[in-house]
Amino acid sequence: MTLPLPPASLLFSPVSVGPLTLHNRVWLPAMVTWLGTDAGDITDHVLSRYVRYARGGAGMIVVEAMGIRDVASGPLLRIGHDRYIPGLRRLADAVHGAGEAKVIPQIIDFLKIGRRDPARALARLEARYPGCSKWPEEVLSERLTTREYRDYAYGYRQDIEDLSIEEVRALPGHFASAARRARLAGFDGVELHFAHAYTMASFLSATNHRPDEYGGSAANRVRLAVEVVKAVRAEVGTDFCVGCRILGSDDVYGGSTLEDSRHHATALAKAGVDFISVSRGGRFEDAKRPTVGEAAYPYTGHSGLMCMPTRDFPDGPNLFLPSAIRRALRATGLSTPVVGAGKINTYAVAEGALQSGSLDLVGMARGLLADPDWPKKVLAGQEEEIRRCKYTNVCESLDRAHLPVRCQLWMKRPDGGMHPPG
Ligand SMILES: Cc1cc2nc3c(=O)[nH]c(=O)nc-3n(C[C@H](O)[C@H](O)[C@H](O)COP(=O)(O)O)c2cc1C
């Protein structure tokens, strides 16, 4: 395919996303920075990170996942109480003041997870299985239930099947309140996090075996997500952008396939989302067993690798997912814009994906972390100047350790810190 020069490209042409017009189609997907305070507040470091992206010229900046409940969650950003609004407003204002980018937070609910503590798990099981503390691993795996063995071997993890119906029915309200705060803080919209290892993705997943109207069939599994979209929309109105991020495929045994995702995407588009961002994998089901004292981490198995494909993969290995979902939407007469991501880092791949109709917006996470000026440089015909991500996932290992996320390619400062180019 012969591609136009960047100034005449689709990539650098404006696009409507619900009530918004983006000045280009370069989309920064959410990337946790671990730069907030332990109370989940915005810091100056958070502000500088996002201002830097805005200066680089991206069309949309999705701010990292922030928790919708008012519960301690380490330096993960939070939007679960009105006291967060002033800090969030500083962030929205700073990004708006730094460039043409629109900015929306990704809002997330997650379930409880504990650190692996086999001695404690076995002490609890003694009442039911006297002497189990002395059983060898193979005997434990045979005699304990699947769930008991998992809690022993990987650490306790709450499942969606553990939630009472009252807890499930409270979720749309939590999302709606968070979206209301995002609006009050001056953001341009919200992205509902329905992907990866978290609560909403687990409802959508084919691994959801709840026996009530929220589990089992595909129609039941998407029910809660649709209720969330409707509750959020009722709270913020139609002039505020509301989109969601889903998985094109769970990439775990027994999890959702592309077929499920096409179904869910169509239901969510009909419910009125302004965009659907398609990610892949990142589930707990195939996570590696953590060392004692650590919690399981959902990006350590095959599904995690497919979420953040490394240098061993060709460019754009996940593009077939947004492509198929977009086709399904268009076949139903739905024009909802679709975002794709996963190792898209050259103008040729990005523009090629747009021209071939695989997606409407090009998600670029690690590529923009490595060089926030990617859009400016490509538009100016200076692609060879780009500091290209090497996809070694140093950023991801920092994320895993809950350490401030940065790129290994950034310049070293005299004080030993790191800063992005420019
Ligand atoms: C350090 C790091 C943090 C991430 N945090 C989030 C997040 O908060 N929410 C989310 O949906 N995806 C998150 N992701 C996944 C990215 O949004 C993106 O889907 C993935 O990195 C693949 O795109 P890429 O190849 O352009 O990096 C994160 C990825 C990285 C590397």
Query: Which residue's C-alpha comes closest to atom 15 of ligand 1?
Result: 31
Report the atom number in ligand 1 closest to the C-alpha of 309.
25
Q: Tell me, yes or no, whether 136 lies in a domain.
A: no
User: Is residue 221 a contact partner of residue 240, using CB atoms and an 8 Å limit?
Assistant: no
Q: Tell me, yes or no, whether 305 lies in a domain.
A: yes
Ligand 1 centre to CA of 131 (Å) is 44
Tell me which residue range forms the domain holding 109: 6-117+155-419
| Residue 396 beta carbon below 6 angstroms from any ligand 1 atom | yes
Ligand 1 centre to CA of 404 (Å) is 14
Q: Tell me, yes or no, whether 325 lies in a domain.
A: yes
Report the atom number in ligand 1 closest to the C-alpha of 363.
26
| Residue 106 beta carbon below 6 angstroms from any ligand 1 atom | yes
Ligand 1 centre to CA of 306 (Å) is 11
Tell me how far apart the alpha carbons of residues 36 and 184 are, in angstroms, rounded to a whole number: 20
Kindly report the CATH number assigned to the domain that includes residue 314.
3.20.20.70
What amino acid is encoded at 369 in this protein? L
Query: Is pTM, for the whole model, over 0.85?
Result: yes
pLDDT at 356 (0 to 100):
97
Q: Tell me, yes or no, whether 147 lies in a domain.
A: no
Ligand 1 centre to CA of 345 (Å) is 14
Q: Tell me, yes or no, whether 128 lies in a domain.
A: no
Q: Tell me, yes or no, whether 206 lies in a domain.
A: yes
| Residue 280 beta carbon below 6 angstroms from any ligand 1 atom | no
Query: Which residue's C-alpha comes closest to atom 5 of ligand 1?
Result: 31
Ligand 1 centre to CA of 28 (Å) is 9
Q: Tell me, yes or no, whether 138 lies in a domain.
A: no
Name the residue of 64, 204, 308, 346 whose CB sits within 8 Å of the most ligand 1 atoms, as the mutation to test its pocket: 308
Tell me how far apart the alpha carbons of residues 163 and 214 are, in angstroms, rounded to a whole number: 11
Q: Tell me, yes or no, whether 378 lies in a domain.
A: yes
User: Is residue 12 a contact partner of residue 381, using CB atoms and an 8 Å limit?
Assistant: no
Tell me how far apart the alpha carbons of residues 303 and 259 are, in angstroms, rounded to a whole number: 17
Specify the number of domains making up the chain.
1
Ligand 1 centre to CA of 318 (Å) is 13
DSSP-derived pairing of the beta strands 418-419 and 411-412: antiparallel
Tell me how far apart the alpha carbons of residues 74 and 185 are, in angstroms, rounded to a whole number: 22
Report the atom number in ligand 1 closest to the C-alpha of 364.
26
Ligand 1 centre to CA of 120 (Å) is 34
Q: What angle do CA 168, 255, 192 make, to 5 degrees?
A: 45
Instruction: Find, among 319, 218, 292, 300, the residue nearest to 259 by Cα.
Output: 218
| Residue 366 beta carbon below 6 angstroms from any ligand 1 atom | yes
Query: Which residue's C-alpha comes closest to atom 28 of ligand 1?
Result: 31
Ligand 1 centre to CA of 148 (Å) is 31
pLDDT at 416 (0 to 100):
56
Tell me how far apart the alpha carbons of residues 54 and 36 are, in angstroms, rounded to a whole number: 19
Residue-wise pLDDT tens for the chain (422 aa)? 899 999 999 999 999 999 999 999 999 999 999 999 999 999 999 999 999 999 999 999 999 999 999 998 888 999 999 999 999 999 999 999 999 999 999 999 999 999 999 999 999 999 999 999 999 999 999 999 999 999 999 999 999 999 999 999 999 999 999 999 999 999 999 999 999 999 999 999 999 999 999 999 999 999 999 999 999 999 999 999 999 999 999 999 999 999 999 999 999 999 999 999 999 999 999 999 999 999 999 999 999 999 999 999 999 999 999 999 999 999 999 999 999 999 999 999 999 999 999 999 999 999 999 999 999 999 999 999 999 999 999 999 999 999 999 999 987 666 655 566 55
| Residue 364 beta carbon below 6 angstroms from any ligand 1 atom | yes
